[in-house]
Amino acid sequence: MPDISESLFLISIMALPFLLAVTLHEAGHAFAAHYLGDTSQRNSGRLSLNPLVHLDPFGTVILPLIAIFTGFPFLIGYAKPVMVQPQHFKKMRRDMILVALAGPLGNLAVAIFCAYILRFGQNYGLDSNSWLMQTMIYGVFMNCLFMVFNLLPIPPLDGGGIVEQILPYDMAIKYRSISRYGIFILMAIVVFARPVILWPTLFMSELVANLVGAPWI
């Protein structure tokens, strides 16, 4: 378990990237659903980049703090899920896939933004150990982590939703039933098969940094 000072430092450099990650992820779902015809997103107030609109008291505040203070290998957490009304879509299966992809793509956009800040910081001579540079490094890594994690083909994650829309109807119903065990499957991956998440996350983080021309660890 990390000491208090180390935990507080981690909070200071991870809070902003985490808030951007969960906000842009859910906002991505909401904006995509609205664009494709689901007007309920505006009525529910989720068509916004305001973090407070998407905040979940437990998933966005309490759970991440528990992860940091207990030395959990990942910063885990989530925002309030966007409720989609697919009956408003013109092509339901296609549009559900697009909405599912919009969340991880929101994380990719934040990772690229953080990588550009890293690049500009290096150009202006900022030390790699400075608060801003460390925060942006975590911003790249954390958003790539959210993207990779949510694309795992496990219901109820976005990846599971994409697979469900590709399968024939009868198979999709059976596949969706896995969601009741989804949290246990994910915890087993985190505990026993961590490289399944870490390796593609590190690959994507380095790829984003290299494409932007940002320094990387």
Domain extents in the chain: 4-212
**Tens digits of per-residue pLDDT, 40-82?**
998 888 999 999 999 999 999 998 888 888 877 667 888 999 9
What would the two tokens of residue 18 be? 């985490």
What is the model's pLDDT at position 205? 97
Cα–Cα distance between 172 and 161 in angstroms, integer?
Answer: 9
**Tens digits of per-residue pLDDT, 90-118?**
999 999 999 999 999 999 999 999 999 99
Q: What mean pLDDT comes out for the span 134-160?
A: 95
At residue 128, does pLDDT exceed 90?
no
CB 31 within 8 A of CB 46: no
> Which ranges in the chain belong to alpha helices (H)?
4-35, 40-43, 51-54, 63-69, 92-123, 131-150, 158-166, 169-176, 182-192, 195-212
pTM for the structure as a whole: 0.92
pLDDT-above-90 percentage for the chain: 71
What is the model's pLDDT at position 74? 67
Cα–Cα distance between 95 and 76 in angstroms, integer?
Answer: 28
